[in-house]
Amino acid sequence: MEIKKSERADLERGKSTSLLIGFVMALAVMFVALEWTQREKEDNSDIFKAPDIVLDQEQIPITMPEKKTVPPPPAAVSNADVIEIVENDSEEPEDVMASVEDNVEWHDMDEVEVFELEPEPEVEEIFMVVEDAPEFPGGTEALLKYLREHIKYPPICRENNIQGRVLVSFVVNKDGSIVDPEIVKGVNPSLDKEALRVIAGMPNWKPGKQRGKEVRVKFTVPVNFRLN
């Protein structure tokens, strides 16, 4: 008896068709997977993409200040003297003293004139106030009498009725002589001149004393000019 195969029971009948459908489905799955991966990359690139920065043309550029380098401090110089020894190859003069003596001019002392300087006289102190004041010979009354007898009233002052008191100062030396008369307070040039003349012609006074020694004293005398 011959065995017959049924077309429905034939397993090889749809094998090629099933294999083709499997390849198509596999390609479809791979295509979908690739598309999905590409979209995810594109979405992520938009997230990490740096934003565009637009600079204004009128914006002032910001510059950083230059760093100035501070020079190192100079090395400290010691105040100690530095002695340098330098070899001198130049020849020194053999006899320095001889060359100096040659330039000195010698003179004979007998031909040199010697001048003796006189010592300057010592300026004695003039006292204003002393223990024993100078005195006119005979005292104050004798002084007034001397002035009345020796004063000559200037005619021009008499005619113009000019009168007054003239103060005259002078120095009484140690020997009593009168020097350096001068007007302290004047009235008229003619009266002042006559008062100086009379005072300068006075006899020697009794000198003043300080601690028992004669000294120079400055004295002042009033000379009165009055018309009767």
Q: Could you tell me if residue 178 is inside a domain?
A: yes
- CATH number of the domain at 207, please: 3.30.2420.10
Q: Is residue 192 part of a domain?
A: yes
Q: Domain residues for 137?
A: 126-225
pTM of the model: 0.47
Average pLDDT, the chain: 75
Is 24's pLDDT higher than 80?
Answer: yes
What is residue 26's predicted lDDT score, i.e. its pLDDT?
84
- Confirm whether 52 is domain-assigned: no
Report how far residue 222's alpha carbon sits from residue 78's, in angstroms, rounded to the nearest whole number.
80
Which 3-state string (H, E, C) describes 172-200? Answer: ECCCCCEEEEEEEECCCHHHHHHHHHHHH
Looking at the structure of the chain, the number of domains it has is: 1
| Contact present, 218 and 127 (Cβ < 8 Å) | yes
Decide: 157 and 170 in contact? Cβ < 8 Å. no
25, part of any domain: no
Q: pLDDT tens digits, residue range 187-222?
A: 999 999 999 999 999 999 999 999 999 999 999 999
Q: Is residue 13 part of a domain?
A: no
206 in any annotated domain: yes
Q: Is residue 152 part of a domain?
A: yes
In whole angstroms, give the CA distance from residue 181 to residue 162.
23
Looking at residue 47, what is its pLDDT? 45
| pLDDT confidence of residue 111 | 60
Residue 105 maps to a domain: no
pLDDT of 29: 81
pLDDT, mean of residues 104-127: 66
Please tell me which of 14-18, 39-43, 106-110, 166-170 the model is most confident about, judged by mean pLDDT.
166-170
pLDDT average, residue stretch 126-153 = 93
pLDDT at 39 over 70: no
Question: Is residue 167 predicted with pLDDT exceeding 90?
Answer: yes
